[in-house]
Structure 1
Amino acid sequence: MVAHALLTALRDEKPLVHCMTNYVAMNIAANVVLAAGASPAMVHAAEEVAEFTPLCGGLSINIGTISAPWFASMTEAAAVANTHDIPWVLDPVAHFISAYRRGAAQKLLAQRPAIVRGNASEILALAGEAGAGKGVDSGDSVTAAQGAARALATQFDTVVAVTGPVDYLTDGKREAEVSGGSVLMPQVTALGCSQTALMGAYAATGPAFDAALAALAHFKVAGTAAATRAHGPGSFQMHFLDALAAAQPDDLAGVIG
């Protein structure tokens, strides 16, 4: 299916998405998934994973505020998703800042997510290359991480999305770029994390490469539209949610390179 056509499928199917995201991102991630047209569920207890994950169309795992209990839940959810052929997305947030976080990201990566989404510094470090990231912020360009993205995609048979001013997407063979958005987007906390949740929703409706591409395009279109109405980061978030809901498939097609 053509990537932008997945928006119609998303709104028709309204897939349930298991969003295992961080404390900071929960509210905006849930609102982003809802505004796009899907149904989010923020379930983290390990005791619920075996029963709940199989009910979902997609799974999103974000390690932003990881802890030992959450990591156990995440690894179990990934295993359950794989058993039931449910696509899942990994966001290795700032995984390079501690040995514990690095180990968690690598263990989750070894479970073969359908999509990996991160900024340039996160993708470089995930591939074992040196980067200039500081906390959750990227210190590297998207262009600098393209080789690492292709290597990860090939090694782990996954789709890798490197997000930034111009997003880059690859499955090791195909590649695409998505332009647009707004400089206000990095000023809204956890907006990138919410994009990972949206990728989980799109992954429930179509192939991983097309799903990731549609999610990237949806964000860029909404960001561009919201910036024309916003007066700063606060009003941008409000208009961004409205723009996600208003976006149409043809809008998404226009930003994919």
Structure 2
Amino acid sequence: MSRMSLRTSAHPSDLLTLLREREPLVQCITNAVVTGFTANVLLALGASPAMVDIPGEAGGFARIASGLLVNLGTPTGEQRDAAREAVAAAAEAAVPWVLDPVAVGALPVRTALARELLLHKPTIVRGNASEILALAGAGAGGRGVDATDSAEAAEEAARGLALLTGGAVAVSGPVDLVTDGTTVVRVANGHALLTRVTGGGCALGAVMAAFAGAATATAIATSPGSGPDTDGPAHASRALDAAVAASSVYGIAAEHAARSAAGPGSFAVGLLDALAALDAPAVRAEARLS
């Protein structure tokens, strides 16, 4: 099913075209395990990665970035300070940002930081079902980075978080669930090999930041002088559009890559090639949204 919800204003295919035109600059404060893969995913998609993640630089760069990703996979003390600095600057400069609360719940340092950063109202929160439940205070987390809950089980928690932040929440699973607190869109694109590659999920957060950055840049261009709103229905709609577009485009590319993959290694390389080759007509034809 490819018909979009009434509250969703743009199809992922149109947003992919927009992203390629805008070439958004995406600042990534992400975990050490996935930095290179995340940068390559952004480049393949058509965005520009910047791994600026130290205090004294993170805030200044966030002001000029198109979008920001904060991923809590390996939250060293320096990265925690950089995240606080970048998020504050992004909020002041109306730069959209994505929070990926990796493995929150059972691990106290990152859980406290995620809840602190949540007060700055991320544009998009992206995580698996157990992470979303834990962030909402409705669960204890999963098994490290692995979910022990289903996306459907996290729907109520995701809706509540979206209403709290005024943005969107994306819950990863065999069928992704994306909501702005009112509308729920399910994205059925993707492939199980994504779970066999380090960074397969984390890179999706960066892709969401890229789509959010492209959408916000367009809002600025169409409303010169006033800038985009950072609260209210229009903001939530852009966040929902960006999260849905990222989930579907990334999922379709994974499906394409899996067709010729012999296993996780060739799949990881193939995913980059598939992202680079993917075009708007393919996304329009293959996005499975309901």
Q: Into which bin does the TM-score normalised by the smaller protein fall?
A: over 0.9
Contact 1:214 / 1:252 at 8 angstroms: preserved in 2? no
The residue identity in structure 1 corresponding to 2:289 is: I
Partner of 1:255: 288
Q: Distance in 2 between matches of 1:152 and 1:203?
A: 18
2:81 paired with 1:72? yes
State which of 94, 111, 135 in structure 2 corresponds to 1:85: 94
Q: Distance in 1 between matches of 2:34 and 2:246?
A: 17
Aligned residues: 257
Partner of 1:57: 66
Secondary structure of 2:32's aligned partner: coil
Q: Distance in 2 between matches of 1:45 and 1:3?
A: 36
- Displacement of 1:50 after TM fit? 3.2
2:11 paired with 1:3? yes
Q: Compare 127-136 and 104-113 and name the one that shifted more.
A: 127-136
- Displacement of 1:104 after TM fit? 0.5
Secondary structure of 1:117's aligned partner: strand
Q: What are the ranges of 5 or more consecutive residues in structure 1 without an aligned counterpart?
A: none
Partner of 1:196: 205
- Displacement of 1:132 after TM fit? 5.8
Partner of 2:3: none
Q: Compare 165-174 and 205-214 and name the one that shifted more.
A: 205-214
- Displacement of 1:97 after TM fit? 2.4
Q: How does 1:80-229 map to 2 (within 5 A)?
A: 80-131=89-140, 133-206=142-215, 207-229=238-260
2:272 paired with 1:241? yes
The residue identity in structure 1 corresponding to 2:128 is: N
The residue identity in structure 2 corresponding to 1:225 is: H
Partner of 2:22: 13
- Displacement of 1:131 after TM fit? 4.9
Tell me the alpha carbon deviations over residues 99-135 of structure 1, each in whole angstroms, 9 at most, x when there is no partner.
2111001001111000000000000111111256100
- Displacement of 1:28 after TM fit? 0.7
Q: Distance in 2 between matches of 1:44 and 1:38?
A: 18
Q: Distance in 2 between matches of 1:132 and 1:78?
A: 24
Tell me the alpha carbon deviations over residues 47-79 of structure 1, each in whole angstroms, 9 at most, x when there is no partner.
112321111110010010002221111011000
Contact 1:123 / 1:149 at 8 angstroms: preserved in 2? yes
- Displacement of 1:252 after TM fit? 2.6
The residue identity in structure 1 corresponding to 2:24 is: P
Secondary structure of 1:184's aligned partner: helix
Q: 1:52 to 1:18 in 2, by over 3 A?
A: same
State which of 24, 29, 52 in structure 1 corresponds to 2:33: 24
Q: Compare 177-186 and 56-65 and name the one that shifted more.
A: 177-186
Contact 2:133 / 2:141 at 8 angstroms: preserved in 1? no
2:48 paired with 1:39? yes
Contact 2:106 / 2:140 at 8 angstroms: preserved in 1? no
Q: What are the ranges of 5 or more consecutive residues in structure 2 without an aligned counterpart?
A: 1-8, 216-237
